[in-house]
Amino acid sequence: MLGNIYFDLVKVFYTNLHIVGQNLCSHVKEVDKKITPDVWTVVTGLKYVGLRINKANIRVVKKFNKMQYYRSCRKNFQTKVKSFSVGGLKLNERIIVFIVSWMLTPRGSNHLVLTEEDLVIIYCIMNKIKINWIDIFKEHMQKSMRLSDYHYSYAIIISKFLHFFEIDLEEELYEVVKPSHEVNNGSLNKMRFTKI
């Protein structure tokens, strides 16, 4: 996603963020925003479909065995597993772990150890199982509100929401997201990742 990021307004968005039903709501510059699935689709192109993956319903993916899948991702799958470390993973799996743990579902600390949720998401990506990304993004936005070690994630998406709700951005400071900052389809195609 390209565009401008309004970091000050992103902080205001998170400060005022709350949940009403299934929707994120916030108040920025005298404007109340209710982010429904339709708004998500218009702004991001994502649809509210696919598996809902979070800690409460990890078992939603059939035939998923955490230990067996982790071993299949390792370069040497016969060594004893002490923890779900990123260190011994194959290259493609390690790249996906980076994208998942730093960009798609960022967390505040310990990116070297995979959570069960990370493993399920990676399994779904590698097996072309549809994921409800809107649900995952919403959950991580809620964590950013509650947990101090979570950063304000998805700044570009929130900035796009500000544009969608026609908030006056004339006097606001911003940073431009350039094409060189983006992981584009060409890069993903070279790694043999395809859109599902």
Please answer whether residues 125 and 188 qualify as being in contact, where contact means their C-beta atoms are separated by less than 8 angstroms.
no
| DSSP symbol at 196 | -
Q: What is the pLDDT of residues 128-144, one digit of tens each?
A: 889 899 988 888 888 77
Query: Per-domain residue ranges for the chain?
Result: 1-49+148-187, 50-131
pLDDT value at residue 195: 56
Q: Which residue has the tokens 């493609």?
A: 92
Quote the pTM value: 0.78
Please answer whether residues 146 and 108 qualify as being in contact, where contact means their C-beta atoms are separated by less than 8 angstroms.
no
Helix (H) or strand (E) holding 164: helix 155-164
pLDDT value at residue 26: 92
The C-alpha atoms of residue 145 and residue 10 are separated, in whole angstroms, by 12
pLDDT value at residue 179: 65
End-to-end CA distance of the chain: 18
Please answer whether residues 1 and 179 qualify as being in contact, where contact means their C-beta atoms are separated by less than 8 angstroms.
no
Q: What is the pLDDT of residues 35-79, one digit of tens each?
A: 999 999 999 998 888 888 877 777 778 778 888 888 888 888 777
Please answer whether residues 54 and 139 qualify as being in contact, where contact means their C-beta atoms are separated by less than 8 angstroms.
yes
The C-alpha atoms of residue 51 and residue 40 are separated, in whole angstroms, by 17
Q: What is the pLDDT of residues 158-184, one digit of tens each?
A: 999 999 999 888 888 888 876 665 666
Please answer whether residues 95 and 127 qualify as being in contact, where contact means their C-beta atoms are separated by less than 8 angstroms.
no
